[in-house]
Amino acid sequence: MAKLNYDKELEEYRNLMLPPGTFEEGFRWSSLLGAIFIALLMVPGAMYMQLVAGMGVGPAAQWVTVILFIEVARRAHRNLARPELYILFYMASAVMAATPYGQGLLWNQFFVQSQAAHAMGVAQRVPSWFAPTDMKVLEHRSFFMWEWVPAIGLFVFGMVMSRINPLILGYGLFRVTSDIEKLPFPMAPIGAQGIMALAEQSQDERQANEDNWRWRVFSIGGMLGLVFGVLYIGLPIITGALLKTPVSLFPIPFSDWTKRTQDFLPAVATGMDWNLMNLIVGMVLPFFAMVGSFIALIMTIIANPILYKLDILTSWKHNDETVWTLFKNNIDFYFSFSIGIAIAIALVGFWQVYRGIKKRRAAARELAEQGGLSEGGLTDRQRRKIRGDIPMPIVIATFVVTTLIYILLSGYLIHWHRGVMIVLVIFGFLYTPIISYVSTRMEGMAGQVVDIPMVREAAFILSGYTGGVAIWFLPIPLANYSWMAVQYRVSELTGTKFFSIWKAELVLLPVVLIASLFFSNFIWSLAEIPSSRYPYAEMMWELGAANSCLIYSSTLGGFTEFERALKWPLIGIGAGFGVVLFAVMSLLNLPMMLIYGLIRGLNQTLPHVAIPQFIGALLGRYYFERKLGLRWRQYVPVVAAGFACGMGLISVFVVGVVFLAKSVIQLPY
């Protein structure tokens, strides 16, 4: 009789919240109204806040929309089911995620006019399908001109493809990691439990004599988020809008102590992120994953001074702060080493998939013989049928077709350059599936993503392309779709049919496109971007353009730091170290999440976030769990969802204050 030897903590998180035995349709016309509500009210606020203060409205858009529609439905004597609430939440999230696309057009118009682009000879080589370079066109400050049609066409193409590919490939990743490997996805219950809490409140389940604990816990988290949000982001933003000098209790985004510790910790970035959400995240995520990340942090603190004394971290200088310390250390060592670590994770991941498939087949035969059931009291086949799955051949075919469209369009725009075409094929059919799978495994194991920095830059530089800067603006098939696998797990936990997500995306596309284009044009028409009216953009965008031009100029024949950063021996060392470390820890029978947490943290882990998360893990494990028992595992995701809602509500409020302050007309007398 075949048995599965699951990691104990992994199984604990997997069983924290099980899918229901039934799946319902969640898409209603109210979902479309919710998307329009977000598009008309939240999108312009989010775009404006990014330009003014460099921050969005956070999760406020999702939670405000859901809570508002619950109240409207209650007054219409109607209760919204969990699937309906989830689709509302999902659509609001999708609309807000599309906000950067609108700002992409605003960035395009700025970049071709920036001082850095003109000084480095980049502006003259920018292709017309990125942005028109004629100053007579740009003076009108309007996207609704014929000269902008190619750029808008590429914008629409990117928007459509960016919704199709995650939807399909994310589903395939979900099937492999959740259905076959049974990974826990520890972050998925946060959104699911939040929806459950609101559903309990809206449906008044206490009539069935059920303990409506989720709403109470959600409310506690919400009040914590409101109070901390006022102190952390509300006070500095409101005072900054009304006074000349903002009043701040906590440094944003973090306290930087690198200069203070440089004498005894050279080349080590030190500091502290004071956002309380990090503490709560440490309680939510698997304990041993946090322990592994903290051990990796200690290893980094020990290794960096040694690497500095061995003249490996040669770029770091005294008085470098966190940002420059990380940048220079990446160039000297961690860029290549991290690529090797990611390769090790991929190799180990494929090996575990192979073993997992064999075990799952054996377990499936055993269940079939015994008539056994899986999650929700259903067999795997029954659950796939009622939740609205699609055949895997369709997933593979869609991925191949969309990737080919990407490659053919980019090839046409780049005049079929051989080296670039090879890079595009590698990105589309090799790198994107691998990094998406590896990152999905990390999401499934520890709620974290894997991202190899500067891969696009290194690949384009090595492609041999020297025909200008057009290569940097291509729509390339390079992405990480792990986030969508988490959304499918949340959908499953809330009992929402997958068809509901696909219907929502179909309706959502035109709403997002119209809102992004219209509000981008409107905000640009108010004033030049950047200008004194948009202080964050005025302060940071020119620096961003200068950094970008350093990379773009490499294909004009100039030297770039990325050529120096790519060291093949270090890649091999990183891959070998990762595989050996994983093998040794597996032989010692250490918890799987400890292994993944340690490997994840070997990419120059920052104490700014790692320390508060580790403190949160200790508090959850050795204080709250001892007081509340295993029920704490159910409480803490709901607290996290409520806390995010509270912080989001404060963000919405301060956006309103900023709009009000900026809209005041100063009279000349």
Query: pLDDT exceeding 70 applies to what percent of the chain?
Result: 73
pLDDT of 533 above 70 = no
Asked if the structure places residue 547 within a domain, the reply is yes
Distance, CA of 110 to CA of 658 (rounded, Å): 23
Asked if the structure places residue 539 within a domain, the reply is yes
Distance, CA of 73 to CA of 549 (rounded, Å): 52
Condensed to tens digits (0 to 9), the pLDDT of residues 117-131 reads: 887 778 888 888 888
Q: How much is the pLDDT for 222?
A: 83
- Contact between 83 and 56 under an 8 Å Cβ cutoff? The reply is no
Asked if the structure places residue 421 within a domain, the reply is yes
Distance, CA of 103 to CA of 93 (rounded, Å): 17
Ranges 156-160, 188-192, 526-530, 652-656, most confident = 156-160
Phi, psi of 272, rounded to the nearest 5 degrees:
-150, 130
Q: Which amino acid is at 78?
A: R
Q: Which residues contact 207 (CB under 8 A, 6 or more apart)?
A: none
How many other C-beta atoms lie within 10 A of the C-beta of residue 136? 8
pLDDT of 395 above 60 = yes
Condensed to tens digits (0 to 9), the pLDDT of residues 232-277 reads: 878 877 777 677 677 778 877 678 888 888 888 888 888 888 888 8
Ranges 200-214, 377-391, 608-622, most confident = 608-622
Asked if the structure places residue 289 within a domain, the reply is yes
Higher pLDDT, 522 or 404: 404
Token pair 């067999």 is at which residue?
379
Asked if the structure places residue 78 within a domain, the reply is no
Q: How much is the pLDDT for 4?
A: 38
Q: How much is the pLDDT for 410?
A: 92
Task: Show the tokens assigned to 476.
Answer: 């390339």
Distance, CA of 162 to CA of 153 (rounded, Å): 14
Distance, CA of 376 to CA of 178 (rounded, Å): 14
Ranges 120-134, 210-224, 311-325, 405-419, most confident = 405-419
Distance, CA of 72 to CA of 138 (rounded, Å): 44
Higher pLDDT, 430 or 541: 430
Q: How much is the pLDDT for 615?
A: 92
Give the mean pLDDT of 49-61: 60
Domains: count for the chain: 1
Phi, psi of 572, rounded to the nearest 5 degrees:
-65, -40
How many other C-beta atoms lie within 10 A of the C-beta of residue 122? 25
Residue 463 is part of which domain span?
A: 98-187+251-628
Token pair 């946090």 is at which residue?
290
Q: Which residues contact 665 (CB under 8 A, 6 or more apart)?
A: none
Ranges 37-51, 570-584, 609-623, most confident = 609-623
Higher pLDDT, 8 or 433: 433
Asked if the structure places residue 233 within a domain, the reply is no
Condensed to tens digits (0 to 9), the pLDDT of residues 196-206 reads: 666 655 555 44
pLDDT of 665 above 50 = no
Asked if the structure places residue 439 within a domain, the reply is yes
- Contact between 614 and 290 under an 8 Å Cβ cutoff? The reply is yes
Stretch among 81-90, 216-225, 285-294, 540-549 having the lowest mean pLDDT: 540-549
- Contact between 387 and 23 under an 8 Å Cβ cutoff? The reply is yes
Distance, CA of 225 to CA of 650 (rounded, Å): 8
